[in-house]
Structure 1
Amino acid sequence: MDARHHTLPCTSLGSTRTLTSLHYGVAAARPKVYIQASLHADELPGMLVAHHLRERLMKAERSGQVLGQVVLVPVANPIGLAQRIDHRPMGRFELNTSENFNRSYPDLAQVAFERVGRELGSDLDKNVAMVRAAVLDWLSEQTPLTELEGLRLTLYRLAADADVVLDLHCDAEAVLHLYSETACWPPLEPLACWLGAQTVLVADYGAGGQPFDEQLSGLWSQLAARLAAHGIEVPLPQACASATVELRGEADVGHAWAERDADAIWRYLQHLGVIAGDPGPVPEPRFVPTPLAGSETLKAPCPGVIAFHAEVGTVLSPGALVAEIIDPLSGQTALLRTAQGGVLYARTRERYAPAGLTVAKVAGHRPVRTGNLLSE
């Protein structure tokens, strides 16, 4: 294992943080898989999964079983991890800027198009190598000013040339589910099956906000689109499959879950040929992929106490009651029902709702939303 410590820019006098990446295998080996945990720093299940993966990877490397390359970042956000206010973690947004740690990543497709778009030729493998080199060169040339800029840039320098990227998150209260760009879904399906995902949400590029995973896979889907728009016909594969893996809820942190999830990811690494060994048969899926635009968001129409009627993982019929919002002052109750039905895959951990709070999310099969499809 090669442990590397990346110093982030100093935003304030006397405070400096580092990001640590763990590297297994040979640097030039393929496939390359990049795995990071807790970019939203208050979402902790991924850190424990990374701990179990680290132990397995160290043993595999010692026995010569790492055939490709794995980069593991167990703590992807040391900035957010240190943010606490009144004993509560505040790891989703940087307090200095109010920016979401998982938004505003660079448009690598535009970078690649400007640098090598007109130099690509008929050799598919050469095209992939040229695009990756161009992007890594551009990233190496950037000079971050702030700590947040440095974090984003460091993570991208580690991940930009990966064949597969897994960004480990969690929701508030949730079943295990995945988000993926449509172009990435086929190579990711075995992972979802081994993980036992109950919901998979897919969308074409442009779900909103330029999140970490989408900008990495979008390098390839959007570069292909730009080339086609300019009449440049060259072979270019979807050379990166990326996914946000939501490891259930914030409180689902324990060795039993983490060992199970690490084993699923391990089998997927074997399936990809990164790790030696037989992963065994791919389990039958517990999900039917649904459009991210079909995710129905149920919001509180008024303030009140939340009383849930449906647990996460429940398959709901159209019109099913999900929760009540109760005003104990007036005695009035607002009923939250799903319009189209589907899997109740996530709900808030809060039990008091200010008006407008996102109370629950239901994965439906019919698109019902447009525009920015991701939460803030």
Structure 2
Amino acid sequence: MQRTDYSLLSSSLGSQKTLSSFHYGTPGARPKVYIQASLHAEELPGMLAAHHLRPLLDAADVAGTILGEVILVPVANPIGLAQRVDHKPMGRFDLDTSENFNRHYPDFAKLIDPAVLDALGTNSATNVALVRKAISDYLINWQPTTELESLRRQLLTLAHDADFALDLHCDCEAVVHFYTEEACWPQMEALAHLVGSRATLLAKSAGGASFDECLSSVWWQLSEALTQKGHAKPLPQSCHSTTIELRGELDLSHEFAQADAQAIYAFLQLQQVIACDTPPQVPASLCDATPLAGSETITAPAPGVVVFAAQPGQLMKTGDLVAEVIDPIDNITHRVLAGVDGVLYARVGDRYITSGGELAKIAGATPFRTGLLLGA
């Protein structure tokens, strides 16, 4: 194992933050897997899972069973981790720019399209190498002007050529759920089963330029561009990425984290990143994959105190009571009902809500939303 520390661009005199990565296997070996935790810095279960994954990787490293390459970044956001206001963590948005730490990543397909498409040929492996080289060149030439940009650039430099990228997050109060692009699902389905996903949400593109989609969308976008131009040039989906939501913010236990680490390790074995005599068994799915466009965000019709009637993981029917929002001044109780059938996979942690605020999410099977599918 090799540890590498990277100094981020300093945002202020006398201030310096560092990103640390842990490297296993042989650089350049395939498959390459990139794993990061807590890009939204207050979402800590991924950090604890990474803590429990490290001894498994250390043992494999000593045993010489790592066939590919694994890069682990257990603390992906030192900027957000240091942000606190009035004793409360503020790890989702950069206080300097007001930008979400998991949005606004580069659209590589648009950035490298002019230089790449005409250069591609008939050899699939050569085409993949050309695309990865073009992305690498872009990152080398990118000159960050803010601390946040330097973080984004460093994370992408580590991850841009990965075959698999796992971004570990969590929600406020939630069961395990799983986001991935449709093009990635065939390769990622086993991982969703291994981590025990209770809601698996698929989209061609969720929008918002998140970290995981930045890495995987370039491949299917360039492939579609080739088809539209009538070029018969092979370009396989060469990065499969996912955002895994490891339950809720307070679901921090060694039991959960050890199970999550074992699930990720089993996936590495399945992908022949780590050798094993007997491939791990993939458990049965706990849910059907559903479109992200079918996920309903339940909102509050009025401000008030929130009393939930439904628990994370509960199967809902249209019309079931999700929560009551109570106005104690006018003595009014607003009943908030499910608008779709499906599992309630996440809900907010606050118990006072303002009008229009998000309360919960239900994974419906029928798409009804269009446009940007991710929230702020």
Q: TM-score, normalised by structure 1?
A: 0.98
CA deviation map 1:241-270 (0-9, x unaligned): 100000000000110000000000000000
Deviation at 1:227, TM superposition (A): 1.9
Deviation at 1:117, TM superposition (A): 1.2
Q: Secondary structure of 2:236's partner?
A: coil
- 1:203–1:291 CA contact under 8 A, matched in 2: yes
Q: Secondary structure of 2:118's partner?
A: coil
Deviation at 1:116, TM superposition (A): 1.8
User: Partner amino acid for 2:232?
Assistant: E
In structure 2, how many angstroms separate the alpha carbons of the residues matched to 1:53 and 1:226?
Answer: 39
Matches within 5 A, 1:124-135: 124-135=124-135
Q: Confirm or deny that 1:211 pairs with 2:202.
A: no
Match of 1:284 in 2: 284
Match of 2:252 in 1: 253
CA deviation map 1:289-341 (0-9, x unaligned): 00001010110111111011111100111111110001111111111111122
Deviation at 1:357, TM superposition (A): 1.1
Match of 2:12 in 1: 12
Q: Confirm or deny that 1:342 pairs with 2:374.
A: no
Deviation at 1:46, TM superposition (A): 0.2
- 1:21–1:71 CA contact under 8 A, matched in 2: yes
Matched residues, percent identical?
54
In structure 1, how many angstroms separate the alpha carbons of the residues matched to 2:46 and 2:233?
Answer: 38
Q: Secondary structure of 1:188's partner?
A: helix
Q: Secondary structure of 2:119's partner?
A: coil
In structure 1, how many angstroms separate the alpha carbons of the residues matched to 2:302 and 2:134?
Answer: 51
Tell me which moved more, 73-82 or 108-117. Answer: 108-117
User: Partner amino acid for 2:284?
Assistant: E
Matches within 5 A, 1:96-175: 96-175=96-175
User: Partner amino acid for 1:359?
Assistant: L
- 1:320–1:341 CA contact under 8 A, matched in 2: no
In structure 1, how many angstroms separate the alpha carbons of the residues matched to 2:112 and 2:234?
Answer: 15
In structure 1, how many angstroms separate the alpha carbons of the residues matched to 2:25 and 2:85?
Answer: 40
Matches within 5 A, 1:29-68: 29-68=29-68
- 1:120–1:127 CA contact under 8 A, matched in 2: yes
Q: Secondary structure of 2:54's partner?
A: helix
- 1:112–1:223 CA contact under 8 A, matched in 2: no
Match of 2:243 in 1: 244
- 1:321–1:335 CA contact under 8 A, matched in 2: yes
- 1:118–1:232 CA contact under 8 A, matched in 2: no
- 2:39–2:101 CA contact under 8 A, matched in 1: yes
Match of 2:265 in 1: 266
User: Partner amino acid for 2:236?
Assistant: P
Q: Confirm or deny that 1:221 pairs with 2:220.
A: yes
Matches within 5 A, 1:316-355: 316-355=316-355
CA deviation map 1:146-187 (0-9, x unaligned): 100000000000000000000000000000000000010011
In structure 2, how many angstroms separate the alpha carbons of the residues matched to 1:292 and 1:123?
Answer: 34
Match of 1:303 in 2: 303
Match of 1:364 in 2: 364
Q: Secondary structure of 1:360's partner?
A: strand
- 1:112–1:134 CA contact under 8 A, matched in 2: yes
Unaligned runs of 5+ in 2: none
CA deviation map 1:355-374 (0-9, x unaligned): 11100000000112111110
In structure 1, how many angstroms separate the alpha carbons of the residues matched to 2:287 and 2:197?
Answer: 7
- 1:37–1:50 CA contact under 8 A, matched in 2: yes
Q: Secondary structure of 2:115's partner?
A: helix
In structure 1, how many angstroms separate the alpha carbons of the residues matched to 2:203 and 2:341?
Answer: 19
Deviation at 1:230, TM superposition (A): 2.4
User: Partner amino acid for 1:147?
Assistant: E
Deviation at 1:7, TM superposition (A): 0.9
Q: Secondary structure of 1:55's partner?
A: helix
In structure 2, how many angstroms separate the alpha carbons of the residues matched to 1:211 and 1:255?
Answer: 29
Q: Secondary structure of 1:118's partner?
A: helix
Match of 2:229 in 1: 230
Tell me which moved more, 32-41 or 208-217. Answer: 208-217
User: Partner amino acid for 2:16?
Assistant: T
- 1:268–1:279 CA contact under 8 A, matched in 2: no
User: Partner amino acid for 1:89?
Assistant: P
In structure 2, how many angstroms separate the alpha carbons of the residues matched to 1:260 and 1:121?
Answer: 44
- 2:269–2:280 CA contact under 8 A, matched in 1: no
Tell me which moved more, 223-232 or 290-299. Answer: 223-232
In structure 2, how many angstroms separate the alpha carbons of the residues matched to 1:304 and 1:214?
Answer: 36
Q: Secondary structure of 1:92's partner?
A: coil
Which runs of 4 or more aligned residues in structure 1 lie more than 3 Å from their structure 2 counterparts after TM superposition?
Answer: none
Q: Secondary structure of 1:71's partner?
A: strand
In structure 2, how many angstroms separate the alpha carbons of the residues matched to 1:33 and 1:123?
Answer: 24
Deviation at 1:215, TM superposition (A): 1.1
In structure 1, how many angstroms separate the alpha carbons of the residues matched to 2:112 and 2:183?
Answer: 18
Aligned residues: 375
Deviation at 1:229, TM superposition (A): 2.3
User: Partner amino acid for 2:23?
Assistant: H
Q: Secondary structure of 2:349's partner?
A: coil
Q: Confirm or deny that 1:94 pairs with 2:99.
A: no
User: Partner amino acid for 1:322?
Assistant: V
CA deviation map 1:1-30 (0-9, x unaligned): 111111111111110111111110000100
- 1:4–1:22 CA contact under 8 A, matched in 2: yes
CA RMSD of superposed structures (Å): 0.8
